[in-house]
A and B are shown apart, each in its own frame.
Chain A
Amino acid sequence: MNFLNTVITALKALRRNPTRALLTTLGIVIGIAAVITMMEIGNGSKTSVRTTIEKMGANSGLILPGWLRRGGISMGMGSRVSLTPADAEAVGRECPSILFYSPVVRASSQQLIFGNSNWVPQWITGVSPEFFLIRNWRIAQGRVFTREEVESNARVCVIGATVARELFGDVSPVDCELRIRDVAFRVVGVLHPKGSNMIGMDEDDILFAPWSTIRMRITGRRTGSATSTKSTPASKPSELYPATGVALYPEQDSSLTSDKLLIPKFTFIDQIVFSASSPAKVKQAEKEVTALLRERHRLRPMDEDDFRIHNSGEFMSMLNSTTLLMTNLLLGVALLSLLVGGVGIMNIMLVSVTERTREIGLRMAVGARSSDILKQFLVESIILCLAGGVIGILMGHGTAVLINKYLSWPIESSPGAVVAAVGVSVFVGVVFGFYPAWKASKLDPIDALRYE
């Protein structure tokens, strides 16, 4: 009996009992549909994480000041200022794995004024020109400010797409002047829109200026961290425990401290961003930065770091491992349901073999060989599973599309999963169909014909 005939015979046999065939294959349908949906959602979230990270710059890192502990209690982010422009320069100069670096100074958000319109952006940030290379952020119009402009504290700025739209409307912003408080800035460039970030904040609602300018002219009136309103923390033991110990030298009068211009205007910066020469080098760069900054900050081996380093890869692998865990977990459940579906197929095939014992006997009597019977039942179970698989793929894809439409979860169709699903359903058909088929082929035609 040739293959086509076997398939036709199997199809005819299945058609004799369509309801049962449908119910039998339901387990496979649900299993495959679950697998496909999971894979599409898993792939979608993976891709969305990856694009977000790529927007942020795939091989970038961020150095933040550490936090202060006072009596064992962490004072939280921004409680310590420890990074200086000199640190940033040293990082750029002495760490071989680092390609670009840029100091970052954050100013509290303030009103921007242009003509008779005004706008308060999310962020006003001071950076150097390399920042845009690190963040992979292109200019749509005009140019980025230059190193010379950074060094000369020039009053120039680059604005995000949202700021350009809200403040300037239809006017081309390049070469216009806007004001932050009472300081006038010339717009030299407009950035390409980036869209929302992962937590839904509009990344284009931003103004960039040279970090030195921001520090000098916008936040310069305060010392220490721009984002911190706390006073410079007490670090001398004599201040913490004034009652103990005898002062060896006359103590400085507090009025003296405030009068004296002890701290230069831009001693501290808020962050340093850097990019490694390749994504693989990010870890290496981190090590180099740690060693360098510990040395520069004169930390003893037992001291904690007074800075912290984040990299985008860390963030990506964290997000990825979360989605991977969820995907794998659900995939496991889906595979389990496939197994259950397979057992269902085996069960019904066994019932079918028993029910059709006389038919098997008859087929043998008219010339079917054992192998013909084996093939027939095996093909029946494979067809059941394959049909279930195809229906499952369609249903799974449909479910993913619905989820995307109504819950707006990102999805991405996965040809690999479709191929795997087809393979798995055929595999299930063979594995769970073999025993019943083998049992059928081993029947004795005389007994089978006599079976009531």
Chain B
Amino acid sequence: MNTLIELKDITKTYFLEELSVPVLKGISLEIRRGDYVALMGASGSGKSTLMNILGCLDRPTTGDYLLEGEELGRASGDRRAVIRNRKIGFVFQSFNLLPRTSAIENVIMPLAYTAGGLSYRERYRRGMEALEQVGLTDRAHHHPSQLSGGQQQRVAIARALVNRPPLIFADEPTGNLDSKTSVEVMHMFDALNADGITIILVTHSDEIANYAKRVIRISDGLVLDGGVK
């Protein structure tokens, strides 16, 4: 029904001096709004590169990348920064929280880059809202070093949510967590997806991939299955 992401024959080639290394060899995908996708593949399969392109961090060598109908593969750096800020939330394997900075400050950090400039009071309110979604309001003023791994990842999820993006990327979100907290975090993604947020997981664990509604397998720069249906 409602297409969020459309990839048309994406290729990515790295040029190392004289040598050209093709990493993605023509990927076409369609991801709908509200989908819950797991991107799987062995190391070196190109899934990280694909994820970077999807996340507007990297540019494809050829092909079109449309997010909500807007071509972004060739958009300006500043435009892509705005898209990252407004439409995409990132959750990383290693949390990537600012050290010696309270949870709430970490959560509202992206809002500082949002054009139009919200007042601090408004940013704080939205930060607390996001923390409430992940159930950490009581830890708002703790520094990352005072939080457990699971709590840190929930702060990171709150940060991804704070600008109410339609799309969240999670790159091995449970890679640094034990199995019990992994389950907690995954349930959180389930809940977010139930609220209508599109989630793209990058993982190589089948267990984690099972949470997703749809699995896309990448091998050697090509989509094995789960591509355009």
Do the two chains belong together in a single complex?
yes
- Establish whether residues B82 and A367, one from each chain, have CB atoms under 8 Å apart when the complex forms: yes
- Establish whether residues A366 and B90, one from each chain, have CB atoms under 8 Å apart when the complex forms: yes
- Looking at the complex, which one of B82, B85, B86, B96 makes contact with A449 (CB distance below 8 Å)? B96
Chain B residue numbers with a CB within 8 Å of A372 are 81, 113
Asked whether A54 is an interface residue with its Cβ less than 8 Å from the other chain, the reply is no
Asked whether A362 is an interface residue with its Cβ less than 8 Å from the other chain, the reply is yes
Chain B's nearest CB lies how many Å from the CB of A432? 25
- Pick from A1-9, A219-227, A256-264, A384-392 the stretch touching chain B: A1-9
- Establish whether residues A369 and B96, one from each chain, have CB atoms under 8 Å apart when the complex forms: no
Chain B residue numbers with a CB within 8 Å of A217 are none
Total chain B interface residues with beta-carbon distance under 8 A = 27
- Establish whether residues A366 and B58, one from each chain, have CB atoms under 8 Å apart when the complex forms: no
Closest to A9 in B: B112
Chain A's nearest CB lies how many Å from the CB of B161? 12
- Establish whether residues A368 and B57, one from each chain, have CB atoms under 8 Å apart when the complex forms: no
B-facing mask of A436-448, CB < 8 A → 1, else 0? 0000000001100
Chain A residue numbers with a CB within 8 Å of B224 are none
A-facing mask of B124-159, CB < 8 A → 1, else 0? 000000000000000000000000000000000001
- Establish whether residues B77 and A369, one from each chain, have CB atoms under 8 Å apart when the complex forms: yes
- Expressed in whole angstroms, the Cα–Cα distance for A358 and B98 within the complex equals 9
Chain A residue numbers with a CB within 8 Å of B58 are 446
Interface residues in B73-115 (C-beta closer than 8 Å to A): 77-78, 81-82, 84-86, 90, 92, 96, 98-101, 105, 109-110, 112-114
- Looking at the complex, which one of A16, A364, A371, A445 makes contact with B101 (CB distance below 8 Å)? A16
Asked whether A363 is an interface residue with its Cβ less than 8 Å from the other chain, the reply is yes
- Establish whether residues B99 and A16, one from each chain, have CB atoms under 8 Å apart when the complex forms: yes
Chain B's nearest CB lies how many Å from the CB of A445? 5
- Expressed in whole angstroms, the Cα–Cα distance for A53 and B100 within the complex equals 62
- Looking at the complex, which one of B84, B100, B101 makes contact with A367 (CB distance below 8 Å)? B84
Closest to A5 in B: B112
Most chain B C-beta atoms within 10 Å of own C-beta, residue among A5, A362, A364: A362
Known contacts A363-B113, A372-B113; is-contact A449 B92 (Cβ 8 Å): yes
- Looking at the complex, which one of B57, B100, B117 makes contact with A365 (CB distance below 8 Å)? B57
- Expressed in whole angstroms, the Cα–Cα distance for A229 and B81 within the complex equals 96
A-facing mask of B33-71, CB < 8 A → 1, else 0? 000000000000000000010010110000000000000
A-B contacts counted at CB < 8 A amount to 60
- Establish whether residues B57 and A446, one from each chain, have CB atoms under 8 Å apart when the complex forms: yes
Dominant SS at the A interface? Answer: helix
Chain B residue numbers with a CB within 8 Å of A1 are 112-113, 117
Asked whether A306 is an interface residue with its Cβ less than 8 Å from the other chain, the reply is no
- Establish whether residues A367 and B105, one from each chain, have CB atoms under 8 Å apart when the complex forms: no
- Establish whether residues B85 and A445, one from each chain, have CB atoms under 8 Å apart when the complex forms: no
Chain A's nearest CB lies how many Å from the CB of B65? 16
- Establish whether residues B57 and A369, one from each chain, have CB atoms under 8 Å apart when the complex forms: no
- Expressed in whole angstroms, the Cα–Cα distance for A371 and B58 within the complex equals 18
- Expressed in whole angstroms, the Cα–Cα distance for A1 and B77 within the complex equals 15
Chain A residue numbers with a CB within 8 Å of B99 are 16
- Looking at the complex, which one of A358, A367, A370 makes contact with B110 (CB distance below 8 Å)? A367
Asked whether A165 is an interface residue with its Cβ less than 8 Å from the other chain, the reply is no
- Looking at the complex, which one of A358, A366, A371, A446 makes contact with B85 (CB distance below 8 Å)? A366
Asked whether A55 is an interface residue with its Cβ less than 8 Å from the other chain, the reply is no
Asked whether A308 is an interface residue with its Cβ less than 8 Å from the other chain, the reply is no
Closest to A371 in B: B78
- Establish whether residues B105 and A366, one from each chain, have CB atoms under 8 Å apart when the complex forms: no
- Expressed in whole angstroms, the Cα–Cα distance for A96 and B58 within the complex equals 87
- Expressed in whole angstroms, the Cα–Cα distance for A102 and B58 within the complex equals 92
24 A-B pairs whose Cβ atoms sit less than 8 Å apart in the complex: A1-B113, A2-B117, A12-B105, A358-B96, A363-B109, A365-B55, A365-B84, A365-B90, A366-B84, A366-B85, A366-B113, A366-B159, A367-B84, A367-B85, A367-B86, A367-B110, A367-B163, A368-B113, A369-B81, A370-B77, A371-B78, A445-B57, A449-B57, A449-B92
Known: A364-B57, A366-B109. 5 other contacts (CB 8 A): A2-B117, A12-B105, A366-B84, A366-B110, A367-B114
| Top 9 A-B residue pairs of the complex, sorted by shortest distance between their CB atoms | A367-B85, A366-B110, A367-B113, A369-B81, A16-B100, A362-B96, A367-B84, A368-B113, A369-B78
Could you list which residues of chain B lie within 8 angstroms of chain A, going by C-beta atoms? Answer: 52, 55, 57-58, 77-78, 81-82, 84-86, 90, 92, 96, 98-101, 105, 109-110, 112-114, 117, 159, 163
Could you list which residues of chain A lie within 8 angstroms of chain B, going by C-beta atoms? Answer: 1-2, 5, 9, 12, 16, 358-359, 361-372, 445-446, 449
